[in-house]
Amino acid sequence: MKILVTGGAGFIASHVVDLYLAHGHEVVILDDLSTGRVSNLNPAAKFVEMDIRDPKVADVFAEEKPDVVNHHAAQMDVRRSVVDPLFDASVNILGSLNLMENARKHAVKLFVYICSGGAAYGEPKYLPCDEEHPIDPICQYGASKHTVEHYLYMYHINYGLEYTILRYPNVYGPRQDPQGEAGVVAIFAGKMLRGEQVTIFGDGEQVRDFVYVEDCARANVLAITRPHVSNIYNLGSGRGLSVNQIFQTLKEIIGYPYGPIHLPAKMGETRKIYLDAARAERELGWKMEVSLQEGMLRTVDYLQKEEVKT
């Protein structure tokens, strides 16, 4: 199959591209390189540098005629979404609509959309959150990402566009930017490896669901190969870990000698969230395979070799 992967120069989607290619698919990457990196691009894939909101996206669909769209590209910084909600909505909603309209016009067989399981649910009413949990986001990023799910359902009912929605947990691993605004594992590990002070916003008892990037990439392969109806699927471990626990685990792996500095918590960030992935296991055959300890070791090894200059 030919697959158009948006955001394919980014942290997670670049791993998805690698796995699609390894399974013999033809891949076209669409990325504006605003946060993605040229170094993440797989040379076996065709690369088109373009914003997903650009009207010229229509030309890409007309020329490439993809069978599948895998849509990872997004404004994914919770803090930026709070400060600049118009930009957040422009990229995440209007950009996604641009892709959906072209998928409809060019008879795309399947649209795989990446949503946020961490931001869309808001403060949970029960844990772990399954796909039936109420959607009450407390940040603009969660609202914009979830809005696209409604459009996909509408395009399925009205135009027959098949879709699979993957709601991600907190994803970590190689290629995550240690200098970025999101990704606590990479940020903490990067600072520790450079001998810098680590900052924790709030008391550190915020709880998240951490899954290694290659596990999430594998779900994207199952989404296009395992027969299933158009639906929403959580990916997750089913258990939560606090930011303080992540700090302590990395501290022990790296041998970091200092404690963290605590600053005030950031607006719009959920206090506690982790996800029930039973539907993904039942219908897609997916479950988390890489343990936290193993995933952390791989991540630190990558950062030591590729990212951090001490």
How does DSSP classify residue 168? E
Q: How many Å from the N-terminal Cα to the C-terminal Cα in the chain?
A: 43
- Look up residue 283 and give its two tokens: 């219908």
DSSP code string of 130-141: -TTS----SSHH
CA 267 to chain centre: 21
Annotated catalytic residue 141: yes
Give the containing element (helix H, strand E) for 107: none
What phi and psi values does residue 27 have, to the nearest 5 degrees?
-125, 135
Tokens 């990212």 correspond to: 307
DSSP letters along 234-280, please?
E---SS-EEHHHHHHHHHHHHT---PPEEEPPPTT--SB--B--HHI
Q: Which helix H or strand E contains 193, and what residues bound it?
A: helix 184-193
Long-range contacts made by residues 179-188, C-beta under 8 angstroms, separation at least 24? 180/35, 181/77, 181/79, 181/80, 182/76, 182/77, 182/78, 183/11, 184/208, 184/243, 184/246, 185/210, 185/246, 185/250, 185/296, 185/299, 186/299, 186/303, 188/246, 188/247, 188/250
Among the listed residues 141, 233, 274, 302, the single catalytic one is 141
Pairing, β 207-208 against β 162-168? unpaired
**Is the backbone peptide bond immediately before 178 cis, with ω within 30 degrees of 0?**
no
248: number of Cβ within 10 Å: 15
Query: Which one-letter amino acid corresponds to residue 141?
Result: Y
Catalytic residues: 141
